[in-house]
């Protein structure tokens, strides 16, 4: 993820495919790449009749003060093909300065078929040692979830 955190550089959407070699992806920010002032978004898309399921397997974000902390957000468009740019926040995690293993599963619906993973690290001179995260994103079928 750190390769795409430079200003003005955005990764093209990652397309997961049920019958291909990309049905899941691991998105991680290693501790040696975690730096102050990062602002990154990775978009993962699923084909029609599929949703996306994300699992946070590691999370250690920096807390600078009571009102200032790094954050990791999971967003989904409010409607398929929406050009309004509005997103629904599915989950937002703020820095705690300790590693947590949130037992959270983030699911998108079958209408949006998209998940944006947005990471922001506040500008600060405080240490960043040992910080980072890992998120696994998988496809899931509407047939498995009782859908059409």
Grade residue 95 by pLDDT with cuts at 50, 70 and 90.
Answer: confident
DSSP helix/strand/coil, 62: coil
Check whether 90 has a pLDDT greater than 70.
Answer: yes
| pLDDT at position 63 | 83
- How do residues 8-40 score in pLDDT, each as one tens digit? 566 788 899 988 778 888 888 887 777 888 888
pLDDT category at 120 given cuts 50, 70, 90 is confident
Task: Tell me 7's DSSP state.
Answer: T
């Amino acid at each position: 993820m750190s390769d795409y955190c430079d200003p003005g550089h955005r990764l093209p959407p990652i397309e997961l495919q049920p019958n291909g070699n990309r049905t899941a992806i691991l998105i991680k920010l290693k501790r040696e790449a975690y730096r102050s002032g990062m602002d990154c978004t990775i978009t993962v898309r699923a084909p029609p009749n599929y949703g996306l399921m994300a699992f946070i397997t590691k999370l250690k974000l920096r807390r600078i003060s009571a009102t200032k902390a790094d954050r990791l957000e999971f967003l989904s468009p409010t409607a398929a093909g929406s050009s309004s740019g509005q997103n629904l926040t599915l989950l937002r995690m703020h820095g705690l300065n300790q590693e947590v293993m949130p037992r959270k599963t983030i699911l998108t619906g079958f209408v949006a078929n998209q998940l944006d993973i947005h990471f922001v690290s506040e500008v600060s001179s405080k240490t960043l040692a040992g910080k980072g995260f890992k998120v696994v994103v998988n496809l899931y079928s509407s047939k498995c979830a009782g859908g059409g």
